[in-house]
Amino acid sequence: MWYRPTPWDVLELEWCPRYLWLSKRHGVPMTPNMAAGRGAEAGLRRFLAKALGAEPKPVYIDAGWAHGVVDILVKRVAASPVEIKTGLPRREHKWQLYAEAYLVKAAGCAVYTGYITYGEKIYRLQISKAELKAAETLLVKAAEVIEGPPPPPVKTGKCAYCQYRAICTPT
Ligand code: SF4
C-alpha cells in the first residue's frame, strides 16, 4: 500500500467509493456551499474551542501509514477529536470522526469520545475499541480503492447533486 489514507478519504468512501476514486484523479470542485462552509469555519472554531476548553486550531496527526488533520483536539485525561461541520448532518460524518479518533489513538493518546458539531450544536459520541477497529478497516479500504481500478458507478439519490455526475455515468 503506497497511499497514506486520511479521515477525509473515509468520509468520501462512505459517501460513494467511486466518488473517492474520482476525487483523487480530478480533485474536488469547490461548490458554493463548500465555500460558504470554509468561510464560516474560523469563527465557529473559536466558539467551539472555547465551549470545549481546547485550543482553536487544527492539529495534524501523522500515524505513519495513515495521517490527517483534526479540526480541534480536546485534551483532558484522554483526547477527543472534534469534527466541525457547517452543513446538514450525514451518516458518513461519524466514520470520519472515528478515523480521526483512530489517528489520535495511534499517535499514543487515550481516546474514548469525540465530537461532531453542526453550527454551534455539539454532539458527543462514545468511541470504543469496536469503532477504532472499524475506522482502521475503513482507512485500509480507502487506500485500496484509491490505488485500485475505478469502482463501478452505482446510481443512488446522491448522484443527482454529485459534482462528478457529468463524468461518472451511473447506471
Ligand atoms: S454520480 Fe453517483 S455513482 Fe458517480 S461518483 Fe457521484 S455519487 Fe458516486
Strand extents, DSSP E, 9-105? 59-62, 67-70, 72-75, 79-85
Residue 117 has pLDDT above 70, yes or no: yes
pLDDT at position 39 is 81
Please choose from 90, 145, 158 the residue to mutate so as to test ligand 1's pocket, defined by most ligand atoms within 8 A of CB.
158
Q: What is the pLDDT of residue 171?
A: 64
Show the ligand 1 pocket: residues with CB < 6 angstroms.
16, 18-19, 22, 153-154, 158-159, 162, 164-165, 168, 170
Q: With a cut of 90, say whether residue 121 has pLDDT above it.
A: yes
Pocket test for ligand 1, best of 164, 167, 169, 171 (most atoms within 8 A of CB): 164
Compute the distance between CA of residue 70 and CA of residue 81 in angstroms, rounded to an integer: 6
- Give the atom of ligand 1 at the shortest distance from the alpha carbon of 163: 6
Average the pLDDT over 109-119 and give the result.
97
Burial of 11 (0-12, 13-18, 19+ CB in 10 A): buried
Average pLDDT of span 73-89: 95
Count the Cβ atoms, other than its own, within 10 Å of residue 155.
12
Tell me which fold the domain 7-168 belongs to: Lambda Exonuclease; Chain A (3.90.320)
pLDDT in tens, 6-52: 999 999 999 999 999 999 998 887 777 778 778 888 899 999 999 99
Ligand 1, atom 5: closest residue by C-alpha:
19
- Over residues 43-79, the pLDDT tens digits come to 999 999 999 999 999 999 999 999 999 999 999 999 9
Q: Is the pLDDT of residue 170 over 80?
A: no
Encode pLDDT of 136-167 as tens digits.
999 999 999 999 999 999 999 999 989 899 89
